[in-house]
């Protein structure tokens, strides 16, 4: 039996939009979402009740493990009065061989919007092409992670008061790290200088570096972290992702190659911040947690107001100019 086509509310259909890569947002869109996220911080903390998405349903489609992304999407939706369907590949018909297309067809009838994480690069775009509800990419393999980029930009702007012209150092797994793939593209749109620190085997893909440079970016590649600390406005650490390596011996060669200790930060600029998409393994020592530079736990919380703003945008719901 064929399910009837969903009829979008006229007001919503004009603003409804997917977020698959950062190319789906203009610079003005980015700033607007960040402004909305700032207004929604007290709602994210539970200090103010603002049921903007009451009656709406978010499908959390997680085909890969997640802590922060899944939980912050759920918190964001519930803080705005909506409800959440949590999905994982374990315990569902995916384990019986159901295709991604068929699964998404079902979700199209159950929810108003979906966040999807999938191990296959391109799965979010495939899902967006398959359904009529908005799709938010929560990470597709080694591809993109635009909602993470938005909360990263929110964190950077809160710390520095601007996104313009910063010196950002991206460290670790730049080959498979979807967070840095999305973030690098966004940062250069605001005139950032990028220093890419990685072992040769985990360098940023050449096509991404070429694209960044083609857009006028100042990009430096190196394998040395210590030399970059004193000039950095932002140091963005990443985990060496064991699950992305086809060969465990290759992983063993680079595991633990970069680590920041509190003692490493003696010459750092005042106001410099250290970020990490988490989970960390041993890239950042616990001694860093109590320093003024550590922003990674705040960064994780920032996923809630940022994703609240993105949910509103994709569903065509306006955030009030004053939230009270």
Q: Same topology for domains 10-145+302-314 and 146-298, yes or no?
A: yes
- Structure-token pair, residue 186: 């966004």
The CATH number given to 10-145+302-314 is 3.40.50.1370
CATH code, residues 146-298: 3.40.50.1370
d(CA 137, CA 118): 9
Which stretches within the chain are classed as H helix? 10-15, 27-44, 68-79, 100-110, 123-130, 146-160, 178-188, 206-214, 248-254, 296-301, 303-314
* DSSP-derived 3-state class of residue 145: coil
Contact 62, 88 (CB under 8 A): yes
Q: What is the pTM of this model?
A: 0.89
Q: How far is CA 60 from the centre of its chain?
A: 15
Q: Domain spans of the chain?
A: 10-145+302-314, 146-298
Torsion, Cα of 318, 18, 111, 148 (10° steps)? -90
pLDDT values of the chain reduced to their tens digit, one per residue, 324 residues? 333 333 333 333 333 489 999 999 999 999 999 999 999 999 999 999 999 999 999 999 988 888 889 999 999 999 999 999 998 766 566 666 778 888 888 899 999 999 999 988 899 999 999 899 999 999 888 778 899 999 999 999 999 999 999 999 999 999 888 889 989 999 999 999 999 999 888 899 999 999 999 989 999 999 999 999 999 999 999 988 666 667 777 777 777 789 999 999 999 999 999 999 999 988 999 999 999 999 999 999 999 999 999 999 999 999 999 998
């Amino acid at each position: 039996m064929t399910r009837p086509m969903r009829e979008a509310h006229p007001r919503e259909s004009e603003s409804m939009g997917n977020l698959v890569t950062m190319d789906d947002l203009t610079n003005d869109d980015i700033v607007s979402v960040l402004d909305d996220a700032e207004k929604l911080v007290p709602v994210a903390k539970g200090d103010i009740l603002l049921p903007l998405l009451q009656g709406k349903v978010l499908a959390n489609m997680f085909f890969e493990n997640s802590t922060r992304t899944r939980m912050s999407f759920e918190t964001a939706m519930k803080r705005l009065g909506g409800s959440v369907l949590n999905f994982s590949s374990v315990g569902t018909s995916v384990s019986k061989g159901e295709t991604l297309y068929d699964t998404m067809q079902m979700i199209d009838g159950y929810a108003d919007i979906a966040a999807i994480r999938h191990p296959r690069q391109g799965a979010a775009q495939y899902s967006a092409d398959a359904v009529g509800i908005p799709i938010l990419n929560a990470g597709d393999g080694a591809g993109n992670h635009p909602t993470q980029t938005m909360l990263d930009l929110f964190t950077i702007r809160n710390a520095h008061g601007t996104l313009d012209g910063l010196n950002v150092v991206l460290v670790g797994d730049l080959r498979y790290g979807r967070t840095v793939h999305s973030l690098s593209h966004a940062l250069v749109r605001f005139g950032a200088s990028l220093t890419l620190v990685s072992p040769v085997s985990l360098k940023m893909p050449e096509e991404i570096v070429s694209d960044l440079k083609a857009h006028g970016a100042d990009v430096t590649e190196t394998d040395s972290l210590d030399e970059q600390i004193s000039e950095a406005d932002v140091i963005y650490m990443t985990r060496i992702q064991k699950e992305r390596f086809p060969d465990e011996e290759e992983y063993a060669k680079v595991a633990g190659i970069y680590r920041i200790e509190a003692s490493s930060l003696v010459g750092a600029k005042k106001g410099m911040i250290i970020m990490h998409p988490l989970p960390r393994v041993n890239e950042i020592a616990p001694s860093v947690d109590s320093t003024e530079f550590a922003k990674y736990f705040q960064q994780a919380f920032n996923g809630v107001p940022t994703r609240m703003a993105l949910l509103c945008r994709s569903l065509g719901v306006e955030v009030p100019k004053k939230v009270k």
